[in-house]
Chains A and B, each alone.
Chain A
Amino acid sequence: QQPVQSPQAVILREGEDAVINCSSSKALYSVHWYRQKHGEAPVFLMILLKGGEQKGHDKISASFNEKKQQSSLYLTASQLSYSGTYFCGTEVGFQKLVFGTGTRLLVSP
């Protein structure tokens, strides 16, 4: 039931764009995105709900394709502060949030 994230890791130069994908084998109720910097706690970025409602970050966007059971996180004009590990979490039906194994993003100057 754990969602699959891709890529596992990505390296960018400052100002470049990146897309992180999250897919599930089951129909999704919602998708959550969190970012964790090294040695710190995960921090909420956004939630995408079935039906199209989106709650969260104003500088990072995401999409949720319910039919394909997939979500993508779009990081545009990346900044050094975007570095960290990004986790998607999926809610299947009314089950609790299950997190993917993460995508490590490094933004270099």
Chain B
Amino acid sequence: NAGVTQTPKFQVLKTGQSMTLQCAQDMNHNSMYWYRQDPGMGLRLIYYSASEGTTDKGEVPNGYNVSRLNKREFSLRLESATPSQTSVYFCASSESLEQDEQYFGPGTRLTVT
């Protein structure tokens, strides 16, 4: 059981470039999430997917798009990166959307110059 995996681990982008962060889970979980973590800000929810085929905005969705490709995979896309998107991005999954523990991936450290 790999749990939640994320690729890449590190990425440097120039302003205006685009990229997709990949996330996969092998626990047969229904719900998946994308968070960003900035110093002193805690974890903030970008987008989530309650179940396969559905996605919804979280607290800070501007500048991002997501795709729930199938039950296992949930990707996050930055269409035109800006320096304010420099952050550590975590993907997480849980059996159900509410009142359930979330399992986090190892994170992607993204720097936008």
Contact = CB atoms under 8 A, between A and B. Distances in A.
Interface string A28-56: 01101010000011111001010000011
Contacts, number: 49
B39 to A, nearest CB: 10
A87 B104 contact: no
A96 interface: yes
Contacts of A96: 45, 48, 58, 97
Contact of B43 (A42, A47, A55): A42
A44 B102 CA distance: 7
Contacts of A49: 99
B40 interface: yes
From DSSP, what is the main secondary structure of chain A's interface residues? Answer: strand
By CB atoms of chain B within 10 A, which of A47, A99, A102 has the most? Answer: A99
A51 B99 CA distance: 13
A41 B105 contact: yes
B106 A40 contact: yes
- The SS class assigned to the B binding surface is loop
A43 B59 CA distance: 21
B33 to A, nearest CB: 8
Contact of B45 (A32, A55, A98): A98
Given A87-B43, A99-B44, A94 B98 contact: yes
A3 to B, nearest CB: 9
B106 A56 contact: no
B90 interface: yes
A88 to B, nearest CB: 9
B45 to A, nearest CB: 6
A85 to B, nearest CB: 9
The 3 closest A-B pairs by CB, nearest first: A41-B104, A44-B101, A99-B43
Interface of A: 2, 29-30, 32, 34, 40-44, 47, 49, 55-56, 87, 89, 91, 94, 96-102
